[in-house]
């Protein structure tokens, strides 16, 4: 950190400039960003989202608002615990992540086996980097989501939600890790991302007194079944399942019992025992031989598969393995296999009668261990499912589409009593902890009932009433509200708050983060030890957040004063509702929508959020940022490399709205050098400035600054941060540069007021430099507490703007001419239009604009010898804005303007520029061009 940065941080801190308390009567802005999850250090992505709120906070403060921007840390959840456990187990990749990516010293990593330590370490380093970046945060309100007071707050919230009937219990299949004893979401998996529980059909084949149970996704193919596969190497079990005697793989028993089936094992045996026996299929009553299939995975489904060689590439390949002797089978089994021919029951365009055979050929598959079988299977299943038709060989299904046949088959099978269901994953899923996952049916799971139509309607009204920035995001919110179903809001493991009425369950991490912005009012008192966490009983919180109950008796129960309790309620009432909550767009489908739902449920309408901001995701050098790709950029690393102001400005300039940002080192360096050259530029400019009266050019600069102030203000209100920063920094700078170049003697007083405004415009983005600049300019006090530039000090001067536009246009035309003309170029004659032409132009343009008869005007000025088309064309060319300015400033002195600028134009063009007025006596006009001059379009002639 540079000494300058350190200095200003110290000043802001000493003067408590970012520690607001309620100021009744003063307008307020309460702005928030989701607390970051502390399983790692904050990174450039966190910064990109948070800095938008930081800019907005500083902007609003300068506009005279009492601004509260608080911060907190998310510890709730199982990821922190999971990482800690993996480290403990000796997982080197986790360790490397800590050390190499996050930059944690070895001696600290040792202590990360304690999850709380891990989180507290990252909290410590993250807090410091946010402070060093100069965020205008009120740290008095900081908390962690595992703090006792916060737990009390979450308990209160869930008690009230349950009373409202929004928390309900239900049963649900989940991907389950038996080691963690917890559902395993996508992020928790090392294998099998995107897999979710699928419902398989169970079909029972009679084998003596047993039901040999096969699992399938294609029950309609029962009509094409030719045999049954079991893996001779695997262990199978006889067991009583839901009152019947089943035979399935031993591993399937566990899964069945986890899926609410009543399972009592009887005995187990090797798969070989089943080989060569016959089992009877339902519906067709065919006796099918049981054959050895080494491709059968016992830990998938029931470990029993019925074979449909016409339509399943695996089955056909395995059958041929036996028939052609690649797989050793017993003599009986071999004979049984030899008698089997594929039995087609589905026809598909583009395939022969036996699609499986086509697929084997097409993929060059030789045996049942071929890796290409996976793809071949997908292909055949897909085509059959979408385009297949059941043939007459499929009995009652014949003529149906496959999709219909499937439903019909289920119905028929169910009627025989030889049908069941089982949840399964179609691909292998492995938990980060290394354990293979399966589907468990969770009972008595607690849900937030987001499917409730009344709740949905209310949430929708929250969004309708809120300002959503950018506006495009609103449609996404609305479709999310429609789509959202019940959300499991509690789980068994990880850090967090227990459900008060069912302490087996811990409130899930997204579900405890919905209305916590309200807690920032209270946390100030808790941190200041003005109220004890254990006294925060639900009734007291009802008063704090809802104004319900009697503060006198509540304060007594809480062991504090009535005034204290009233103060806390006042604090909440002052700051709430949230004026802006900003997050990255991937939080729309969950957090931000939950935020709307819960406010709708718990708070009266006046406390619903007023503003929601959404930004894009961040990429690094054009690629998605990830720890494994090695392009992970921590906030700390970026800050140290580019300095606080450079880092902030670079983030500001990288993207707007919901667009994804691209973090480029080069761009950040550029931003830094821009910030750093501001003050030298200002000093140098002031040194060469002169004391003189204001002229047209000074008026122009003030007018331009007026436009910039408007642009920055509007962009900031709309959270168009990139646009705002570009206008504040770059465009304003360009205006000043133009002024300096254009003016022979830049005026000190003009520069002083312009620089003063410029410093303020830049202050939200580059606060350190802005403070320095403010001091350099002799400003008293702190710029972060100064007023936003006032438009009154920068009057619009259309005449001056018009004058500059005319000069710029003349220069542009002259450059074009100089570019194409070869030949003499020592002198450029510029002819301003004559009074007659000018009068003609004005009247014609005015007539055209008003839609009046132009012919009359043309006839009146026929002596000007200018075709009206030229005038109309020019009108378009200059644009309605400039044209209107011209027509309303009838006394605009074009000749005077250009004549005064002739020296400047000579310098710019490198030729001597002579400005003359057409029609005045003694005009030198060797090319006889003067007559062609029009207002805003002087004629040119090069000699």
Name residues contacting RNA, limited to 686-725 (CB under 7 A). Answer: 723
Pick 368 or 833: Cβ nearer RNA: 833
Cα–Cα distance list, 332 to 272, 336, 338, 711 (Å): 13, 6, 10, 87
Element (H, E) at 831: strand 827-832
Among 154, 165, 67, 162, which Cα is nearest to 545's? 154
Closest separation in Å from C-beta 140 to RNA: 24
Closest separation in Å from C-beta 143 to RNA: 15
Rule CB under 7 A: say whether 449 interacts with RNA: no
**Binding to RNA (CB under 7 A): which residues in 788-807?**
none
**Encoded tokens for 657:** 């709205």
Closest separation in Å from C-beta 483 to RNA: 7
> Would you call 58 exposed, middle or buried from its count of C-beta atoms within 10 A (0-12, 13-18, 19+)?
buried
> What does the alpha-carbon distance between residue 694 and residue 910 come to, in Å, rounded to a whole number?
28
Local structure of 783: helix, strand or coil: helix
For RNA, which stretch binds (CB under 7 A), given 480-488, 555-563, 697-705, 765-773? 480-488
Rule CB under 7 A: say whether 181 interacts with RNA: no
Rule CB under 7 A: say whether 480 interacts with RNA: yes
Q: Write each residue from 496 to 525 as x if it is in contact with RNA (CB under 7 A), else as -, in one continuous string.
A: ------------xxx---------------
Pick 167 or 318: Cβ nearer RNA: 167
Torsion sign over Cα 250, 256, 257, 262 = negative
Closest separation in Å from C-beta 628 to RNA: 14
> What does the alpha-carbon distance between residue 782 and residue 11 come to, in Å, rounded to a whole number?
9
Residue 109's Cβ-side half-sphere holds a number of Cα atoms within 13 Å equal to: 21
**Binding to RNA (CB under 7 A): which residues in 833-852?**
none
Rule CB under 7 A: say whether 100 interacts with RNA: no
Closest separation in Å from C-beta 158 to RNA: 15
Rule CB under 7 A: say whether 673 interacts with RNA: yes
Rule CB under 7 A: say whether 626 interacts with RNA: no
Pick 51 or 213: Cβ nearer RNA: 51
Among 718, 897, 684, 635, which Cα is nearest to 49's? 635
Cα–Cα distance list, 507 to 59, 74, 173, 243 (Å): 37, 13, 19, 37
Rule CB under 7 A: say whether 491 interacts with RNA: yes
Residue 878's Cβ-side half-sphere holds a number of Cα atoms within 13 Å equal to: 25
Q: Write each residue from 557 to 596 as x if it is in contact with RNA (CB under 7 A), else as -, in one continuous string.
A: ----------------------------xxx-xxx-----
**∠ CA 763-768-769 to the nearest 5 degrees?**
75
Among 799, 827, 821, 792, which Cα is nearest to 905's? 827
Pick 230 or 437: Cβ nearer RNA: 437
- Choose, by CB under 7 A, the member of 52, 60, 61, 78 that binds RNA: 78
Rule CB under 7 A: say whether 860 interacts with RNA: no
Pick 194 or 922: Cβ nearer RNA: 194
Using only C-alpha atoms, the chain has a radius of gyration, in whole angstroms, of 39
**Binding to RNA (CB under 7 A): which residues in 731-760?**
737, 741
Q: Where does residue 34 fall: left (phi above 0), alpha (psi -120 to 50 degrees), or beta otherwise?
A: beta
**Binding to RNA (CB under 7 A): which residues in 910-939?**
927, 929, 932, 937-939
φ, ψ of residue 269 in degrees (nearest 5): -160, 170
Rule CB under 7 A: say whether 617 interacts with RNA: yes
φ, ψ of residue 922 in degrees (nearest 5): 80, 15
- Choose, by CB under 7 A, the member of 15, 378, 465, 624 that binds RNA: 624
**Helical H runs in 661-695?**
665-687
Token pair 């400035």: residue = 689
- Choose, by CB under 7 A, the member of 414, 670, 793, 899 that binds RNA: 670
**Binding to RNA (CB under 7 A): which residues in 10-39?**
37, 39
DSSP bridge pairs for 239: 246, 265
Pick 324 or 586: Cβ nearer RNA: 586
Among 124, 131, 127, which Cα is nearest to 105's? 124
Rule CB under 7 A: say whether 191 interacts with RNA: no
Closest separation in Å from C-beta 307 to RNA: 30
- Choose, by CB under 7 A, the member of 212, 878, 886, 913 that binds RNA: 878
Pick 248 or 661: Cβ nearer RNA: 661
For RNA, which stretch binds (CB under 7 A), given 224-232, 543-551, 770-778, 872-880? 872-880
- Choose, by CB under 7 A, the member of 267, 606, 780, 819 that binds RNA: 819
Rule CB under 7 A: say whether 487 interacts with RNA: yes
Rule CB under 7 A: say whether 192 interacts with RNA: no
Residue 442's Cβ-side half-sphere holds a number of Cα atoms within 13 Å equal to: 25
Rule CB under 7 A: say whether 876 interacts with RNA: yes
- Choose, by CB under 7 A, the member of 77, 224, 303, 342 that binds RNA: 77
> What does the alpha-carbon distance between residue 742 and residue 670 come to, in Å, rounded to a whole number?
26
**Binding to RNA (CB under 7 A): which residues in 344-383?**
none
Rule CB under 7 A: say whether 453 interacts with RNA: no
Element (H, E) at 805: helix 798-820
> What does the alpha-carbon distance between residue 892 and residue 889 come to, in Å, rounded to a whole number?
6
Rule CB under 7 A: say whether 472 interacts with RNA: yes
How big is the site for RNA, counted in residues (CB under 7 A)?
93
- Sheet of 827-832: strand order equals 912-917, 827-832, 939-942
Q: Tell me the residue length of the chain.
A: 943
For RNA, which stretch binds (CB under 7 A), given 291-299, 476-484, 692-700, 794-802? 476-484
Closest separation in Å from C-beta 40 to RNA: 9
What would the DSSP string read from start to end of 56-88? HHHHHHHTT-EEE----BB--BSHHHHHHHHHH
- Choose, by CB under 7 A, the member of 332, 335, 852, 877 that binds RNA: 877
- Choose, by CB under 7 A, the member of 211, 291, 484, 832 that binds RNA: 484
**Binding to RNA (CB under 7 A): which residues in 299-318?**
none
> What does the alpha-carbon distance between residue 522 and residue 529 come to, in Å, rounded to a whole number?
11
Pick 237 or 634: Cβ nearer RNA: 634
């Amino acid at each position: 950190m540079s000494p300058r940065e350190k200095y200003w941080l110290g000043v802001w801190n000493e003067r408590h400039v970012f520690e607001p308390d309620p100021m009744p009567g003063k307008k307020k802005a309460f702005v928030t960003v989701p607390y970051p999850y502390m399983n790692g250090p904050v990174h450039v992505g966190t910064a990109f989202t948070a800095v938008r709120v930081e800019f907005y906070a500083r902007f609003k403060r300068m506009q005279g608002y009492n601004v509260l921007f608080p911060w907190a840390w998310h510890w709730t959840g199982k990821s922190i615990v999971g990482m800690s456990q993996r480290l403990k187990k000796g997982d080197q990749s986790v360790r490397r992540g800590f050390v190499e990516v996050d930059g944690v010293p070895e001696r600290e990593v040792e202590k990360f086996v304690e999850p709380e330590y891990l989180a507290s370490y990252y909290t410590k380093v993250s807090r410091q980097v946010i402070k060093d970046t100069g965020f205008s945060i009120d740290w008095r309100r900081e908390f962690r989501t595992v703090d006792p007071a916060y737990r009390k707050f979450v308990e209160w919230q869930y008690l009230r939600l349950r009373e409202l009937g929004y928390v309900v219990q239900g049963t649900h299949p989940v991907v389950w890790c038996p080691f963690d004893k917890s559902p395993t979401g996508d992020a928790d998996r090392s294998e099998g991302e995107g897999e979710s529980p699928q419902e398989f059909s169970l079909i029972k084949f009679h084998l003596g007194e047993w039901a040999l149970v096969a699992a399938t996704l294609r029950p309609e193919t029962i009509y094409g079944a030719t045999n049954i596969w079991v893996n001779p190497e695997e262990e199978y079990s006889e067991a009583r399942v839901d009152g019947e005697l089943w035979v399935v793989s031993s591993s399937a028993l566990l899964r069945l019992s986890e899926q609410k089936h009543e399972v009592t094992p009887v005995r187990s045996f090797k798969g070989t025992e089943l080989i060569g026996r016959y089992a009877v299929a339902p519906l067709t009553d065919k006796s099918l031989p049981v054959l050895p299939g080494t491709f059968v995975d016992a830990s998938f489904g029931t470990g029993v598969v019925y074979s449909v060689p016409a339509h399943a590439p695996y089955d056909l390949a395995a059958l041929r393995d036996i028939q052609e002797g690649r797989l050793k089978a017993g003599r009986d089994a071999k004979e049984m296999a030899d008698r089997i021919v594929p039995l087609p029951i589905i026809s598909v365009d583009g395939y022969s009668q036996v699609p499986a055979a086509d697929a084997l050929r097409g993929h060059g598959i030789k045996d049942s261990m071929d890796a290409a079988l996976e793809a071949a299977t997908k292909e055949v299943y897909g085509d059959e499912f979408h385009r297949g038709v059941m043939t007459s060989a499929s009995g009652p299904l014949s003529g149906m589409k496959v999709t219909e046949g499937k439903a019909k088959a289920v119905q028929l099978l169910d009627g025989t009593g030889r049908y069941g269901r089982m949840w399964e994953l179609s691909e292998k899923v492995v938990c980060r902890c290394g354990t293979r996952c399966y589907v468990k049916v969770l009972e008595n799971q607690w849900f937030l009932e987001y499917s409730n139509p009344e709740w949905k309607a209310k949430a929708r009204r929250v969004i309708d009433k809120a300002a959503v920035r950018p506006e495009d995001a609103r449609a996404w919110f609305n479709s999310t509200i429609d789509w959202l179903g019940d959300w499991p809001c509690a789980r068994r493991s990880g850090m967090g708050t227990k459900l008060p009425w069912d302490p087996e369950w811990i409130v899930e991490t997204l579900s405890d983060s919905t209305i916590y912005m309200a807690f920032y009012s209270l946390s100030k008192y808790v941190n200041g030890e003005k109220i004890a966490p254990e006294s925060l009983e639900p009734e007291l919180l009802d008063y704090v957040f809802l104004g319900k109950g009697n503060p006198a008796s509540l304060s007594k129960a809480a062991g504090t004063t009535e005034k204290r309790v009233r103060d806390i309620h006042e604090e909440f009432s002052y700051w709430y509702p949230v004026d802006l909550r900003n997050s990255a767009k991937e939080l729309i489908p969950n957090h931000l929508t939950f935020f709307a739902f819960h406010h709708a449920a718990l708070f009266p309408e006046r406390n619903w959020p007023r503003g929601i901001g959404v930004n894009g995701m961040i990429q690094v050098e054009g690629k998605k940022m990830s720890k494994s790709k090695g392009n992970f950029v921590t906030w700390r690393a970026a800050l140290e490399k580019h300095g606080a102001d450079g880092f902030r400005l670079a983030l500001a300039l990288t993207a707007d709205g919901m667009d994804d940002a691209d973090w480029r080192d080069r761009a950040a360096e550029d931003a830094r050098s821009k910030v750093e050259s501001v003050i030298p530029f200002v000093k140098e400019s002031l040194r060469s400035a002169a004391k003189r009266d204001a002229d047209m050019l000074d008026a122009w600069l003030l007018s331009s600054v007026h436009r910039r102030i408007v642009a920055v203000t509007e962009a900031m209100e709309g959270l168009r941060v990139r646009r705002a920063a570009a206008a504040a920094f770059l465009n304003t700078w360009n205006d000043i540069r133009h002024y300096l170049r254009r003016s022979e003697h830049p005026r000190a007083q003009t520069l002083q007021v312009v620089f003063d405004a410029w410093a303020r415009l830049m202050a939200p983005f580059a606060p350190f430099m802005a403070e320095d600049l403010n001091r350099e300019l002799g400003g008293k006090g702190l710029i972060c507490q100064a007023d936003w530039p006032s438009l009154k000090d920068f009057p619009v001067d259309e005449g001056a703007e018009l004058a500059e536009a005319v000069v710029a246009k003349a220069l542009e035309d002259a450059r074009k001419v100089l570019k194409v003309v070869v030949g003499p170029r020592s002198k450029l004659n510029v002819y301003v239009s004559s009074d007659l032409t000018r009068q003609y132009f004005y009247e014609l343009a005015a007539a055209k604009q008003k839609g009046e008869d132009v012919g009359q005007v043309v006839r009146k000025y026929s002596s000007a010898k200018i075709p009206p088309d030229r005038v109309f064309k020019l009108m378009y060319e200059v644009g309605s804005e400039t044209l209107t300015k011209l027509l309303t400033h009838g006394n605009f002195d074009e000749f005077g303007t250009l004549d005064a600028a002739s020296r400047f134009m000579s310098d710019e063009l490198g030729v001597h520029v002579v400005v003359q007025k057409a029609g005045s006596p003694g005009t030198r006009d060797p090319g006889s061009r003067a007559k062609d001059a029009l207002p805003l379009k002087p004629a040119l002639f090069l000699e």
